[in-house]
Amino acid sequence: MFDKFADLEDKISQLEGRLSDPELVTNQKEFRKVVKEHAHLTKLNTIYSSFRQVQQEIEESKALLHDEDEDLELKELARAEIEELETKEKKLDEEIKLILLPRDPNDEKNTFLEIRAGTGGDEAALFVGDLFRMYSRFAESMGWRVETISSSPLGIGGFKEIIALISGDKVYSKLKFESGVHRVQRVPETETQGRVHTSAVTVAILPEADEVELNIDMNELKIDVFRSSGPGGQSVNTTDSAIRITHLPTGLVVICQDEKSQHKNKAKALTVLRARLLDQMEKEHHDKISQDRKSQVGSGDRSERIRTYNFPQGRMTDHRINLTLYKLEAIVSGKLEEVIFPLIAHDQAEKLKEIQ
């Protein structure tokens, strides 16, 4: 595995040469690509250098053990040092393998969050709002920006569906395992006998697609204009500003009505459509080359029940990795670190098994 590191420093020098080229700065997309690759290889080289240094120290300590002229006390110290160094060597080896894992090209991207009410009527609609607040607060703690693209509010205070764009550093890498069915068990406010009801909502996480990746043929779109519905005022639902875009080849439909401007609603709807089309293309490609492995955290299938939020017991369970936490209040308030990072770690561990 380490043979490929022979020319690592040469590659870094070549990238540094490119970064000093004034012409590269004029192409911002290529410039960002080179910057990321330089940072990736520099980190890899730093860890690999430490790894080689530890290996050298292990060899030197082992040589002491076989030196008949050295005293017993020094040899005991060498044995202790070897044990410590081998632990360090194993840790650095794992770090190198993690860096060498194939990178998801979407990890760096901004992400569309789509939450829709499923079974459970009003209670499901209320939980859509709860999950949106949960993700919004987590996004705030990560320094990300949340922009509502479209929503269908209901009078009870919930939503039939809500779509938002979350922008920031490596958003998709953190949220990509949130797609699926989220089940909630709690006593609704309208329940007079204190019975626990079970409801469900679906969450979809879609990486944002730019126009270069996916160019939409406008001739394949049917665009309808209509008057916005729901809570309004300020001309939001008094003018024909809402947009419905239908992608004729696939039948995908996107509605955007939150903006007063028809032009802004159309632009937002196109970004959502582009993300859904890219998501569909990637899933079709994945299905052609392999079956989803059961060992993976999840395929992002919207029909897969991934998580249960049990309010009477204050419990959250992620069914994919058998993770149970009795911290439901903190979780729904946006403290998702103990939920999201174990999923990422599990996915990495499964991928590491494949290259052992």
Helix-helix angle 337-354:72-100, to 10 degrees: 100
Q: How confident is the model at residue 234 (pLDDT cuts 50, 70, 90)?
A: very low
User: The domain spanning residue 282 has which CATH number?
Assistant: 3.30.70.1660
Taking residues 189-213, report their average pLDDT.
Answer: 82
pLDDT of residue 157: 81
**Is 120 among the domain residues?**
yes
pTM for this entry:
0.71
What gap in Å lies between CA 138 and CA 113, rounded to an integer? 13
**Is 291 among the domain residues?**
yes
Burial 148-175 (b: 16+ CB within 10 A, else e): ebbbbbbeeebbebbbbbbeeeebbbbb
Residue 47 sits in the same domain as residue 130:
no
Residue 146 sits in the same domain as residue 213:
yes
Question: At 31, which helix (H) or strand (E)?
Answer: helix 28-65
Give pLDDT tens digits for 256-285.
Answer: 887 778 888 888 888 888 888 888 877 775
Residue 134 sits in the same domain as residue 219:
yes
pLDDT of residue 314: 96
Contact 163, 253 (CB under 8 A): no
**Is 40 among the domain residues?**
yes
Q: Look at residue 178 and tell me whether its pLDDT is greater than 90.
A: yes
Range of the domain at 23: 2-100
Q: How confident is the model at residue 299 (pLDDT cuts 50, 70, 90)?
A: very low
Q: What is the mean pLDDT of the chain?
A: 84
Give pLDDT tens digits for 40-65.
Answer: 889 889 999 999 999 999 998 888 88
Q: Look at residue 295 and tell me whether its pLDDT is greater than 60.
A: no
Residue 27 sits in the same domain as residue 161:
no
Pick the range with the lowest mean pLDDT from 51-55, 73-77, 108-112, 325-329: 73-77
Q: How many domains does the chain have?
A: 2
Q: Look at residue 176 and tell me whether its pLDDT is greater than 70.
A: yes
**Is 233 among the domain residues?**
yes
Domain boundary, last residue among 57, 80, 100: 100
